């Protein structure tokens, strides 16, 4: 197999399985409410738990831990050019370190550990863990490495340049920057559907999936696209978005990191 992830490493991750954020529900639509400025961040990705937001500084070496009012709590350093990250459990994120050629588990400054693989990652860009499944995208190799309970596959079908990825409810969602589509796979790594073809996305950025919606950033289009789980477009948002690179939803609030304006735009649902 191209990639093996230690079962012994996965066990503590399963024990620390994260609680799902409450769904924002099907009623209402998203509306811009406010923005938080960032300082010297170059934000690429964003995620969060019940208490804090986490933002990766993609061209530098930090993950910024913030309060939900935008206040800095901690700079977690020595993360080499971190790209997309996902929440693992409260206070714990997983992140792709593109310059270090690894994916890592980060729990504060003193607890940064590499997710072991037996294949060289050329340009890791995204990592996601759900239950006993783990996926890592490699941008330059055009692959997503997928470990489903010990069965390892290398997904290349329909994928050219994968960036952000997310495992959710037994499906794998992959943002592909070459096709500018979201590719959806099942638990066996088989292609199921594509999302975004009709919207002519100029440059796909990050994505976020909850139990109701799929949010996708269009980096060069300066917009955020909201789909239902079947891939039908519900909203296209543009207000206060400048090169949006990633999105995270918590309850009835949505947080978008703008690379171009170095800030976080907040949308609320009503």
Q: Does residue 27 sit within a domain? A: no
| Structure confidence by residue, pLDDT tens digits, 155-191 | 998 999 999 999 998 999 999 999 999 999 998 889 9
Q: Does residue 37 sit within a domain? A: no
To the question of pTM greater than 0.95 for the whole model, the response is no
| Structure confidence by residue, pLDDT tens digits, 76-107 | 999 999 999 999 999 999 999 999 999 999 99
| Structure confidence by residue, pLDDT tens digits, 24-45 | 445 789 999 999 999 889 999 9
Residue 211 region, left (φ>0) first, then alpha (ψ -120 to 50), else beta? alpha
> What are the backbone angles phi and psi of residue 15, rounded to the nearest 5°?
-65, -30
Q: Does residue 171 sit within a domain? A: yes
CATH, residue 129: 2.120.10.30
Q: Does residue 202 sit within a domain? A: yes
Please choose, from the candidates 262, 213, 216, 209, the residue with its C-alpha nearest in 3D space to the C-alpha of residue 236: 216
**pLDDT, averaged across the chain:** 90
Q: Does residue 9 sit within a domain? A: no
Q: What share of the chain is helix, strand, coil (3-state, %, to 5)?
A: 5, 50, 45
Q: Does residue 213 sit within a domain? A: no
Q: For residue 148, what are the domain limits?
A: 42-207
Q: Does residue 150 sit within a domain? A: yes
Q: Are the C-beta atoms of 181 and 197 separated by less than 8 Å? A: yes
Q: How many CB atoms lie within 10 A of CB 22?
A: 12
Q: Does residue 12 sit within a domain? A: no
Q: Are the C-beta atoms of 93 and 84 separated by less than 8 Å? A: no
Number of domains the chain contains: 1
Evaluate if residue 264 carries a pLDDT over 90: yes
């Amino acid at each position: 197999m191209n990639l093996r992830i230690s079962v012994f490493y996965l066990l503590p991750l399963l024990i620390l399985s994260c609680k799902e954020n409450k769904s924002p529900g099907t009623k209402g639509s998203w509306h811009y409410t406010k923005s938080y400025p960032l300082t010297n961040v170059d934000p690429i990705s964003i995620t969060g738990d019940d208490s804090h937001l986490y933002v990766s500084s993609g061209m530098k070496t930090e993950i910024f831990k913030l309060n939900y009012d935008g206040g800095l709590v901690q700079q977690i350093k020595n993360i080499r050019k971190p790209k997309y990250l996902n929440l693992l459990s409260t206070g714990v994120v997983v992140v792709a370190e593109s310059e270090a050629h690894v994916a890592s588990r980060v729990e504060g400054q003193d607890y940064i550990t590499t997710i072991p693989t037996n294949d060289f990652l050329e340009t890791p860009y995204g990592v996601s863990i759900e239950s006993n499944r783990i996926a890592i995208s490699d941008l330059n190799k055009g692959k997503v490495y997928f470990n489903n309970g010990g069965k390892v596959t290398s997904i290349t079908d329909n994928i050219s340049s994968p960036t952000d990825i997310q495992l959710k409810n037994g499906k794998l969602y992959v943002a592909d920057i070459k096709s500018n589509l979201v590719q959806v796979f099942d638990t066996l790594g088989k292609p199921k559907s594509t999302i975004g073809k009709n919207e002519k996305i100029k440059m796909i950025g990050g994505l976020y999936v909850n139990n109701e919606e799929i949010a996708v950033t269009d980096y060069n289009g300066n917009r955020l696209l909201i789909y239902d789980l079947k891939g039908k477009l519900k909203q296209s948002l543009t207000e206060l978005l400048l090169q949006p690179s990633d999105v995270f939803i918590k309850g009835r609030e949505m947080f978008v990191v703008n690379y171009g304006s170095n800030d976080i735009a907040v949308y609320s649902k009503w």
